[in-house]
A and B are shown apart, each in its own frame.
Chain A
Amino acid sequence: NAGVMQNPRHLVRRRGQEARLRCSPMKGHSHVYWYRQLPEEGLKFMVYLQKENIIDESGMPKERFSAEFPKEGPSILRIQQVVRGDSAAYFCASSPPVPGSIGNTIYFGEGSWLTVV
């Protein structure tokens, strides 16, 4: 799982600013997931992407949050006009492209901690 790279690891933003979190999946992985973890809580699914496609964004707040996974480059989770309630750990995970394959496991990055002051 060390292969999923997230940056920045820690990000501090003032209320109203924008936060951009980046995720580079493991080599050969074309599926990316974003999860949010509030303090002392479990992981909440946010969005699931393939290259250039959003597959499932049912966990994304309707406003201020967006995600993309372009053909080239990392996946980006963007939070506009951040509020204190956005303070959380944001985990990215990636998986291989073939559904149903044996060992079909997602691998996590080390997380990005967003603090809104």
Chain B
Amino acid sequence: AQTVTQSQPEMSVQEAETVTLSCTYDTSESDYYLFWYKQPPSRQMILVIRQEAYKQQNATENRFSVNFQKAAKSFSLKISDSQLGDAAMYFCAYRSDINNDMRFGAGTRLTVKP
């Protein structure tokens, strides 16, 4: 089974600054999807951004962008101009294109300092 590793249990960033959250994964598949989900204190899982493995271009959603390195099996999330509302747990996730299986990393707790 695929595994997803988030090596940073906690990160902090100053408001308006930029922060990068790391994620690596292990797979033998060539086609798959990668996601970042945000879980605020409300505990709801909110999709932040997604990336198709067959696309070389890094996905971008407003202040959120990814650095997808397929050969290195790395999928980091960059948050620019951090806002207080960005404070949450962030989960990296991998989804197989073969069987729709989806696995999550352990999460990174992001704190935003005013």
A, B in one complex: yes
Please report A residues at the B interface, Cβ cutoff 8 Å: 1, 31, 33, 35, 37, 41-45, 48, 55-56, 58, 89, 91, 93, 95, 99-100, 102-108, 110-111
Instruction: Count A/B pairs, Cβ under 8 Å.
Output: 67
Bound complex: CA A78 to CA B63 (Å): 40
Q: Does chain A have a CB within 8 A of B11?
A: no
Bound complex: CA A26 to CA B35 (Å): 19
Please report B residues at the A interface, Cβ cutoff 8 Å: 1, 6, 31, 33, 35, 37, 43-47, 50, 52, 89, 91, 95, 97-107
Given contacts A1-B44, A1-B45, A1-B46, contact A106 B97 (CB under 8 A): no
Bound complex: CA A110 to CA B42 (Å): 9
Bound complex: CA A1 to CA B40 (Å): 15
Determine the chain A residues whose CB is within 8 A of the CB of B44 once the complex forms.
1, 108, 110-111
Bound complex: CA A114 to CA B89 (Å): 21
Bound complex: CA A33 to CA B47 (Å): 16
